[in-house]
Amino acid sequence: MVTGSETELTRFFSLGLLDLITLPQRSAVANFHVEQAQIRLTAEVVDQVTQVRQSWVRAVAAAQTYNYAAQVFASAEASAELAQRMESVGNFNKLTRARHQVFFAEAATQLATAKQLALSRREELIRLLGLDDVQSQQLVIPDRLPNLPKKPISTEDVAKQLNQERLDIQQAKAALNAAAKAQGFNRVTGLTDIELSVMRSTAANHSSSRGYEVGLKLPILIGATCAATP
């Protein structure tokens, strides 16, 4: 503050009392929010891993189907060639040979379809894994899916495990805890606050003054009414 030739310097240090009093509650709410964020991130990671596992199962199943289609094609090809030879010596008629040829043609079509499906499933898995060209060439897919468990899991155990490991339930619990912890003091601190200030003033003539100041913040509510006439 400059008045004529006199200069006065005033220093304030203010502290919100309600903010200080509610610091433990605010810290707990912040911890719950951090827990929510961690659970949300974990859910995204688990979802990505689940997509990769599902894609892996589809890729292995498609490869197994392709191997089976190749075996069927080999059998159909041998059967068609044998039918042609049997017809040439008079043991098969043209109708029997035609049936073997139709089966061979269907086997060839199924083999081509299975090969295309196996390639597309493999490319889908490579894309989800984020592999480059060199890494994709090193990717080895098993020939068949693993065997099913001999003993099935009971429905009660499955339900219990799901309730304990479901991330959406954990996230809902964290949100409920945060809301319960923040209930009450948010309304108070949102409408008003009490500030404690320490003041010290120094003038150019080396005179100084100090003191304390308590301030109460009150909201100003303004209401407006708008009427429309025809």
Dihedral of CA 202/207/213/217: which sign? negative
Q: Is 26 exposed, middle or buried (0-12, 13-18, 19+ CB in 10 A)?
A: middle
Domain positions in the chain are 2-152+165-217
Q: Identify the segments of the chain with pLDDT beneath 70.
A: 4, 158-171, 174, 176-194, 204-206, 216-230
What pLDDT is stored for residue 144 in this prediction? 83
Dihedral of CA 96/102/103/108: which sign? positive
What pLDDT is stored for residue 62 in this prediction? 93
Contacts 24+ apart (CB under 8 A), 20-23: 22/185, 22/189
What pLDDT is stored for residue 55 in this prediction? 93
What pLDDT is stored for residue 227 in this prediction? 40
Query: Edge to edge, what strands does the sheet with 6-16 contain?
Result: 2-3, 6-16, 193-203, 208-217
What pLDDT is stored for residue 115 in this prediction? 93
Q: Is 135 exposed, middle or buried (0-12, 13-18, 19+ CB in 10 A)?
A: exposed
What pLDDT is stored for residue 229 in this prediction? 38
CA-based max dimension of the chain: 132
What pLDDT is stored for residue 94 in this prediction? 83
Tell me the whole-structure pTM to 2 decimals: 0.57
What pLDDT is stored for residue 24 in this prediction? 78
Please give the CATH topology (third level) of the domain spanning 2-152+165-217.
Outer membrane efflux proteins (OEP) (1.20.1600)
The answer to whether 128 touches 104, Cβ cutoff 8 Å, is no
Q: DSSP for 13-57?
A: EEEEHHHHHTHHHHHHHHHHHHHHHHHHHHHHHHHHHHHHHHHHH
